[in-house]
Amino acid sequence: MDIIRVQGGRKLEGSVAVSGAKNSALKLMAATLLAPGVTTLTNVPDISDVHVMGKVLKHMGAEIEVVDKHTLAIDTSEVNSWEAPYELVAKMRASTAVMGPLLGRFGKAKIAMPGGCNLGARKIDMHILGLEALGVSFDTEHGYIYADATKGMTGSDVTLEFASVGATENLIMAAVRAEGTTLIDNAAREPEIVDLAEMLTKMGAKIEGAGTPLVRIEGVPELHPTEHRVVGDRIEAGTFLVAGALAAGSRGVEVTGFNPVHLTMVIRKLEAMGISFERTEAGMRAMRAETIRPIDIQTLPFPGFPTDMQAQAMVLSALADGSSIITENIFENRFMFASELVRMGADIHIESHHAMIHGVRSLSGAQVVSPDLRGGAALVLAGLVAEGTTEVSAVHHIARGYEAFVEKLSALGAYVEHASVPDPEFD
């Protein structure tokens, strides 16, 4: 059993560069299906979710050349399958992102119901309703979704019930090949949506309004391959900024490789907690807070506070001088992390989608289990400031979204290591 072992009490100093955004790279890889030929992606994170998406594309007939550790040349010329199989999809919820590109290229798709972190129901109703407005018909059978647009897709006005990132991305990738104009109202506004639209535009798509609630897509008859650099990962950046806020030495922790504008709400909330930041030429520096103030946070779609930063914020709140409230509005099961933090001495009570956190003076090292990607990273952060040793298991979740997480923390001065220990179930 692989674990991450953390010895608390070490000060962090130096600079850390974040990788390309997981939530962008996966959708950009899927979008290469729309343009037969070789599309080159740079600044691709070397993480397990990217490896799984690569296997999905290869299953469909794509060839992928790893030019270097962070550059992929994806040749979709010989793609001849429109099926995303269960054994791959079950490992990654972003796998539904191939639905729109497959409909755009082949007019049909067969997608297994998605997997990934156990954060709650993966409702794809909005994907289906939006694509139905373009003329796609759906059937579900034996755990698979069958989508058929062989009669063609026609642009339409689509209003999303919720600003869903996945539904917005699927609709954009399908609409670029639909006949006529598609208007997506209440579209998601995340930076990763903008990144996708920018690459599709380079491929010949006509998209206006990405990053706003109203996106207009004019369908085109074909797209061509291109080269594109993946945007920096704002969630990885936020994670390391929280690490600095918890454990930085006198010179702070500088985080580079991302756009601080993409973390405006996170930075605003952390400043309200007493964390100080400095803009640098390459990014932003976080200073350790001597006293952490309590806070009220609600997770919301961008530009609100991201659900992917909720667990990291909870670690800070657990050590605040007072009581905080965190309200989770995106995923109903995202508080599974809280029970593990309680094992480390935190005082947290969950009521429905609210977490009441009463600050304690210190945390103590313990054996904890990573419940999901962001919760696992947050437990490692908690171990940085806990008394004694923390061992985090189920670390495959962390590997899904953080490249060289242990190595980057070690370079900042943390005492953290990967280790293999006997599995207690089979010892």
Catalytic residues: 117
From residue 125, how far is each of 48, 54, 94, 130 by CA, in Å? 27, 26, 15, 8
Dist. CA 294–CA 355, nearest whole Å: 13
DSSP 221: S
SS3 assignment, position 236:
helix
Contacts with 128 (C-beta within 8 Å, 6 or more apart), sequence order = 138, 145
Q: Which of helix, strand or coil describes residue 3?
A: strand
Altogether, the residues listed in the chain come to a count of: 427
- What are the helix (H) ranges across 84-218? 86-89, 99-106, 125-133, 165-175, 191-202
Check the annotation: does 374 bind a ligand: no
Nearest one of 316, 361, 318, 362 to 339, comparing CA atoms: 318
What is the Cα–Cα distance from 287 to 243, expressed in whole angstroms? 10
Is 330 annotated in a binding site? The answer is yes
Question: Cα 311 from chain centroid?
Answer: 13
Q: Binding site annotation covers 69?
A: no
Q: Is 93 annotated as a binding residue?
A: yes
C-alpha 45/C-alpha 63 separation (Å) is 18
Q: Annotated binding residue at 308?
A: yes
Residue appearing with tokens 């601080």? 260
Nearest to residue 414, comparing CAs of 13, 1, 3, 4?
A: 13
- Binding site residues for phosphoenolpyruvate, as ranges? 22-23
- Binding site residues for UDP-N-acetyl-alpha-D-glucosamine, as ranges? 93, 308, 330
- Binding site residues, as ranges? 22-23, 93, 308, 330
